[in-house]
């Protein structure tokens, strides 16, 4: 058990390291000179060269990489030469927004998928069950940003019930924060909810075929109480796996949703940084995102080991 | 049980963790003393001395920073921190009488020492390319606390005009330590709060020397997405859209009686650039043919909803030497084909390397299709703007044709620089530009008009159209400017109808 965890931790660290090399190399070959972008159209070559030196871009790539990674290892992401501010605090600030978005999106997805998936399974031979399946197919086909645009049109522009975008931190004004979070969370959660509904449906269907559930029904329990008491617990196992995998998708979806709803999260920070050729910031954000996804996978892996005793022996 | 608990705990945990990172932001109050203005380009920092781009001066110039002079709504140079000024006979010595009782937002008084400091600092500390606008200054003398004398190496009309832009901004020597995050100027507003990716809050400076603006607080809100910007106004999230970037969306505001739509001109010429230095475009017949071969009226209608102005040269109507040259090369594919044949190039293959921005993308489609009709095969290559475009087209000059918007004021002078990416080298134009700069204002107008005519005659570029300035605001917001002539989004004249 300990050995398995140690091995997985080592793999995690190596993966992050490999990712950092790839990210750095990619930034190095990206066309466009950060110094030129900062100085504007009429900059003289000497001035561009001086600024490159100021930014530290004239140093050998290996030095630049080691410098960066050395800093990251000690929690210092460096200072952006575009914003002139330290990257670490900005990253944390933006990460907070993205995590709220992803978390609430996940919550919406679960609130949709759990009941709908169960209903679709229990009634899979009836029209209502088929209708739920149909709706989830439709939901999967709608991209999150489109859902966002439609929701904004309806609830912000036409009805005026909710803001069309923008972000208020919860500590500042909880009510405004919640109002601002509803539409983005729903846009993000709808699609994920549709995907998840299908997994819930399948795993509930599987569970319904199990002997213990038939026994429960034979003892006289109605279908839903039987499922609730004996089935859902078991049906949740595969759903947790999918949930972990979906977190990565949610992060990607969040980048787009942040754009639609003007949320100052990691995604919009990334897009801004790319446009300004703020390489150091881009590198750091991508690394954090990659590390985040790897961490979730790592957590899911660990969860398996906890759930399934057979995996502990390998 | 354990499994279900985990499933439920995960999102909750995420929420809890992220709660620790929550920062602060601007909330737009519903009160009458607050105005929220929506923009598309966000300043990356507050230091326009080392970071180029229009976003920083748009937010800070005239609002936070002030110069000796400013441009008013009609494009006239009017006094700001200078009460008045005189120019010597030979037009090289400017004596500025400064306003008294002016203070920077850090409490330091504004004096002639600051004028000397600020102008000299452009030459020594600034890094953006615009710093060259102060090259003509020989020295600044402090004659008295309220009297600054600027001595130019040679007469220059452009210099005083440039003093109305960001290079003319006045700084305090003790206030430049942290320009990127703490701008300190003499303006009516100071930066009170900043939330990156979201907004900048400007609050009125209580000790401002001049007339107090109507709005106590102005929130500048940034929306990279044009639709999100429009929706913000439609759903009451902001009061003003500083500039509409999607012309298709204008009719919905025009049809809505809650809003006023103002359409005017900018300094932004959308130019189809020809690489004058390289064959086949070094041949004036080819350039003329390509200019005759594009139907600019149809292009403007297709690419920008007909909103914009046809100009025909590098001069917007707000410049004193404007003359309508839009009919100089009427759309004539027949003549274009003839000219191409004359030049020995009946069939051409050209690379159209454009900025990957909406106006350029849609204009490029029309250009390619029009030129196709006169036998020119155009391959469109969109380049990431600004980074890749700047590197490959602007710096390396690796292109045949390009489309980009030139937003600087009076940038017709770029045609006097043979190293500029136009590749245009015409001694006569250089001479005229020099004479215009050193002459009297009347002479300037005459000479500049001649420059504009010459580059048009040479078909040095193809001026597709002038970008419109389309401002949309709630009916009660007053004082908005129709034509955008300065670099600033001037908040000082905004008011509220009662």
Transcribe A146-210 into DSSP letters: HHHHHHIIIIIIIS--S-SS----TTT-HHHHHHHHHHHHHHHHHHHHHHHHHHHHHHHHHHHTS
The residue with tokens 């606390």 is B145
Q: What does each of the 498 residues of chain B score in pLDDT, given as a tens digit?
A: 343 434 444 443 343 333 333 333 333 445 789 999 999 889 989 999 988 888 999 999 999 999 999 998 888 899 999 999 999 999 999 999 999 999 999 999 999 999 999 999 999 999 888 898 999 999 999 999 999 999 999 999 999 999 999 999 999 999 999 999 999 999 999 999 998 889 999 999 999 999 999 999 999 999 988 888 999 999 889 999 999 988 888 999 999 999 999 999 999 999 999 999 999 999 999 999 999 999 999 999 999 999 999 999 999 999 999 999 999 999 999 999 999 999 987 779 999 999 998 899 999 999 999 999 999 999 999 998 888 898 899 989 999 999 999 988 999 999 999 999 999 999 999 999 999 999 998 999 999 999 999 999 999 999 999 999 999 999 999 999 999 989 999 999 999 987
Give yes or no for B235 touching A (CB within 8 A).
Answer: yes
Q: What is the CATH number of the domain that holds A115?
A: 1.10.3720.10
Phi first, then psi, for residue B395 (nearest 5°) are: -85, -55
Contact between chains at B197 and A149 (C-beta distance less than 8 A):
no
Cross-chain CB nearest to A103 (options B14, B231, B232): B14
Residue A166 lies in a domain: yes
Complex ipTM: 0.75
pLDDT tens digits along A57-100: 888 888 888 888 888 888 888 888 788 888 988 899 899 999 99
Question: Cβ atoms within 10 A of the Cβ of B38, count?
Answer: 25
Residue A44 lies in a domain: no
Band the pLDDT of A127: cuts 50, 70, 90: confident
Nearest CA in chain A to B24: A169
3 state SS of B373: helix
Q: Is A122 in contact with A292 (CB distance < 8 Å)? A: no
Give yes or no for B5 touching A (CB within 8 A).
Answer: no
Domain count, chain A: 1
Contact between chains at A240 and B47 (C-beta distance less than 8 A):
no
Nearest CA in chain B to A304: B3
**Is it the case that residue A240 has pLDDT exceeding 90?**
no
How far away is chain B from the Cα of A100, in angstroms, using its nearest Cα? 6
Burial of A197 (0-12, 13-18, 19+ CB in 10 A): buried
Residues of B in contact with A233 (CB under 8 A): 1, 3-4
Q: Nearest-5° angle of CA B112, CA B72, CA B478?
A: 125
Cross-chain CB nearest to A152 (options B25, B223, B231): B231
Residues 6+ positions from B305 with CB-CB distance below 8 Å: B247, B248, B250
Residues of A in contact with B234 (CB under 8 A): 156-157, 164
Cross-chain CB nearest to A163 (options B11, B235, B387): B235
Residues of B in contact with A173 (CB under 8 A): 27
| CA separation for the pair B421, A220 (Å, rounded) | 85
Nearest CA in chain A to B417: A42
SS3 content of chain B, % helix, strand, coil (to 5): 30, 25, 45
Contact between chains at B18 and A95 (C-beta distance less than 8 A):
yes
How far away is chain B from the Cα of A191, in angstroms, using its nearest Cα? 17
pLDDT tens digits along A184-205: 999 999 888 888 888 888 888 8
Q: How many CB pairs under 8 A join A and B?
A: 212
| CA separation for the pair B458, B452 (Å, rounded) | 10
Name the residue range of residue A240's domain: 90-276
DSSP B248: G
DSSP B245: S
Cross-chain CB nearest to B197 (options A85, A236, A269): A269
Residues of B in contact with A152 (CB under 8 A): 228, 231, 235
Contact between chains at B231 and A106 (C-beta distance less than 8 A):
no
Q: Which domains does chain B have, with CATH numbers?
A: 18-63+179-264+469-496 (3.40.190.10), 69-175 (3.90.76.10), 266-468 (3.10.105.10)
Cross-chain CB nearest to A303 (options B6, B181, B236): B6
pLDDT tens digits along A210-231: 788 778 878 877 777 777 777 7
Cross-chain CB nearest to B25 (options A40, A83, A172): A172
The residue with tokens 């793999």 is A11
Give yes or no for B388 touching A (CB within 8 A).
Answer: yes
Residue A298 lies in a domain: no
Cross-chain CB nearest to A96 (options B21, B42, B386): B21
Residues 6+ positions from A9 with CB-CB distance below 8 Å: A298
Contact between chains at A95 and B21 (C-beta distance less than 8 A):
yes
DSSP B393: I
Residue A282 lies in a domain: no
Residues 6+ positions from A66 with CB-CB distance below 8 Å: none
Tell me what pLDDT residue A311 has. Answer: 61
How far away is chain A from the Cα of B211, in angstroms, using its nearest Cα? 32
| CA separation for the pair A26, B164 (Å, rounded) | 42
Tell me what pLDDT residue B221 has. Answer: 95
Tell me what pLDDT residue B476 has. Answer: 93
Nearest CA in chain B to A172: B24
Cross-chain CB nearest to B236 (options A38, A103, A160): A160
Residues 6+ positions from B327 with CB-CB distance below 8 Å: B312
Our CA dihedral for A179, A180, A185, A187, rounded to 10 degrees, sits at 110
Residues of B in contact with A168 (CB under 8 A): 25, 27
Residue A207 lies in a domain: yes
| CA separation for the pair B439, B154 (Å, rounded) | 10
Cross-chain CB nearest to A96 (options B12, B18, B224): B18
Of chain B residues 425-444, which have a CB less than 8 A from chain A? none
How far away is chain A from the Cα of B4, in angstroms, using its nearest Cα? 6
Q: What is the mean pLDDT of chain A?
A: 83
Give yes or no for B497 touching A (CB within 8 A).
Answer: no
Band the pLDDT of A302: cuts 50, 70, 90: confident
> Measuring CA to CA, which residue among B311, B306, B400, B304 is closest to residue B360?
B304
Residue A72 lies in a domain: no
| CA separation for the pair B104, B448 (Å, rounded) | 38
Cross-chain CB nearest to A262 (options B18, B22, B228): B228
User: DSSP labels for chain A?
Assistant: -HHHHHHHHHHHHHHHHHHHHHHHHHHHHSSS-HHHHHH-TT--HHHHHHHHHHHTTTS-HHHHHHHHHHHHHTT---B-TTT-SBHHHHHHHHHHHHHHHHHHHHHHHHHHHHHHHHHHHHTTTSHHHHHHHHHHHHHHHS-HHHHHHHHIIIIIIIS--S-SS----TTT-HHHHHHHHHHHHHHHHHHHHHHHHHHHHHHHHHHHTSHHHHHHHHTT--HHHHIIIIIHHHHHHHHHHHHHHHHHHHHHHHHHHHHHHT--SHHHHHHHHHHTT-HHHHHHHHHHHHHHHHHHHHHHHHHHHHH-HHHHT-
Tell me what pLDDT residue B173 has. Answer: 96
Report the predicted TM-score, pTM, of the whole model to 2 decimal places.
0.83
How far away is chain B from the Cα of A123, in angstroms, using its nearest Cα? 23
Contact between chains at A107 and B11 (C-beta distance less than 8 A):
yes
Residue A12 lies in a domain: no
Residues of A in contact with B25 (CB under 8 A): 167-169, 172, 264
3 state SS of B231: helix
The residue with tokens 């006569």 is B428
For residue A3, give both structure tokens: 């050995």
Cα A225 to Cα A110, A165, A214, distances in angstroms: 20, 42, 13
The residue with tokens 């209608």 is B301
Cα A234 to Cα A22, A196, A203, A205, distances in angstroms: 40, 16, 8, 11
How far away is chain A from the Cα of B411, in angstroms, using its nearest Cα? 11
Residue A250 lies in a domain: yes
Q: Which of A230, A262, A264, A281 is the best mutation test for B, with the most CBs of B within 10 A?
A: A262
Pairing of the two strands B34-39 and B240-241: parallel
**Is it the case that residue A26 has pLDDT exceeding 90?**
no
In total, chain A counts a number of residues equal to 314
How far away is chain B from the Cα of A84, in angstroms, using its nearest Cα? 6
3 state SS of B317: coil
């Amino acid at each position: 058990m300990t050995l398995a965890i140690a091995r997985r931790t080592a793999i995690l660290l190596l993966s992050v390291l490999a990712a950092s090399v790839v990210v750095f190399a990619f930034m190095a070959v990206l066309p466009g000179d950060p110094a030129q972008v900062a100085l504007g159209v009429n900059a003289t070559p000497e001035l561009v060269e001086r600024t490159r030196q100021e930014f530290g871009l004239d140093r050998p790539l290996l030095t630049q990489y080691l410098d960066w990674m050395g800093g990251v290892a000690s929690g210092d992401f460096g200072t952006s030469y575009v914003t002139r501010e330290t990257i670490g605090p900005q990253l944390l600030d933006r990460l907070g927004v993205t995590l709220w978005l992803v978390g609430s999106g996940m919550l919406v997805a679960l609130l949709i998928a759990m009941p709908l998936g169960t209903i679709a399974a229990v009634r899979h031979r009836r029209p209502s069950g088929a209708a739920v399946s149909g709706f989830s197919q439709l939901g999967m086909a709608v991209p999150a940003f489109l859902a966002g645009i439609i929701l904004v049109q309806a609830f912000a522009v036409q009805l005026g019930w909710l803001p069309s975008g923008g972000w208020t931190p919860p500590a500042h004004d909880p009510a405004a924060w919640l109002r601002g979070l509803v539409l983005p969370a729903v846009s993000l959660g709808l699609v994920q909810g549709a995907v998840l509904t299908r997994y819930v449906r399948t795993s509930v269907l599987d569970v319904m075929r199990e002997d213990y559930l038939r026994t429960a029904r034979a003892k006289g329990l109605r279908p839903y109480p039987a499922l609730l008491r004996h089935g859902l617990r078991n049906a949740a196992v595969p759903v947790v796996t999918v949930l972990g995998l979906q977190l990565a998708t949610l992060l990607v979806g969040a980048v787009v949703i942040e754009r639609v709803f003007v949320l100052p999260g990691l995604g919009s920070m990334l897009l801004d940084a790319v446009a300004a050729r703020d390489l150091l910031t881009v590198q750091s954000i991508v690394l954090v995102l990659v590390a985040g996804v790897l961490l979730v996978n790592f957590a899911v892996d660990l969860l398996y080991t906890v759930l399934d005793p057979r995996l502990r022996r390998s | 049980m354990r499994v279900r608990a985990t499933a439920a705990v995960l999102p909750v945990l995420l929420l809890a963790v992220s709660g620790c990172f929550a920062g602060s932001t601007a909330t737009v109050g519903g009160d009458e003393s607050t105005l929220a203005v929506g923009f598309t380009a966000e300043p990356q920092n507050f230091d326009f001395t080392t970071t180029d781009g229009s976003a920083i001066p748009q937010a800070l110039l005239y609002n936070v920073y002030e110069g000796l002079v400013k441009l008013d709504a009609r494009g006239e140079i009017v006094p700001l921190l200078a009460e008045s000024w005189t120019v010597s006979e030979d037009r090289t010595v400017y004596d500025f009488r400064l306003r008294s009782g002016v203070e920077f937002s850090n409490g330091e008084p504004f004096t002639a020492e600051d004028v000397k400091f600020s102008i000299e600092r452009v030459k020594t500390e600034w890094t953006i390319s615009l710093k060259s606008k102060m090259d003509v200054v020989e020295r600044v003398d402090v004659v008295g606390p309220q009297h600054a004398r600027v001595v130019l190496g040679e007469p220059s009309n452009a210099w005083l005009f440039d003093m109305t832009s960001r290079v003319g901004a006045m700084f305090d020597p003790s206030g430049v330590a942290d320009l990127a995050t703490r701008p300190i100027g003499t303006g009516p507003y100071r930066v009170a709060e900043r939330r990156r990716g979201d907004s900048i809050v400007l609050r009125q400076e209580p000790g401002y020397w001049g007339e107090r603006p109507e709005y106590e607080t102005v929130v500048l809100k940034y929306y990279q997405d044009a639709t999100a910007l429009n929706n913000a106004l439609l759903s009451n999230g902001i009061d003003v859209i500083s500039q509409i970037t999607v012309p298709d969306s204008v009719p919905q505001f025009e049809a809505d009686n809650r809003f006023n739509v103002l359409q005017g001109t900018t300094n932004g010429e959308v130019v189809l650039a020809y690489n004058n230095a390289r064959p086949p475009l070094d041949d004036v017949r080819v350039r003329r043919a390509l200019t005759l071969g594009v139907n600019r009226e149809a292009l403007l209608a297709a690419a920008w909803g007909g909103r914009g102005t046809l100009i025909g040269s590098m001069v917007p109507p707000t410049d004193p030497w404007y003359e309508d040259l839009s009919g100089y090369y009427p759309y004539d594919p027949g003549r274009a084909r003839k000219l191409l044949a004359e030049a020995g190039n009946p069939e051409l293959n050209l690379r159209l390397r454009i900025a990957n921005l909406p106006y350029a993308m849609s204009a490029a489609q029309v250009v390619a299709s029009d030129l196709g009709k006169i036998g020119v095969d155009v391959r469109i290559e969109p380049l990431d703007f600004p980074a890749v475009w700047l590197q490959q087209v602007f710096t390396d000059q690796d292109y045949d044709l390009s489309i980009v918007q030139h937003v600087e004021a009076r940038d017709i002078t770029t045609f006097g620089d043979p190293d500029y990416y136009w590749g245009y080298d015409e001694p006569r134009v250089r001479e005229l530009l020099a004479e215009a700069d050193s002459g009297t204002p009347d002479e300037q107008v005459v000479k500049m008009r001649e420059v504009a005519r010459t580059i048009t005659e040479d078909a040095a570029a193809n001026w597709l159209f002038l970008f419109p300035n389309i401002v949309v605001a709630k009916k009660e917001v007053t004082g908005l400017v129709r034509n955008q002539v300065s670099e600033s989004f001037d908040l000082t004249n905004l008011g509220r109808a009662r």
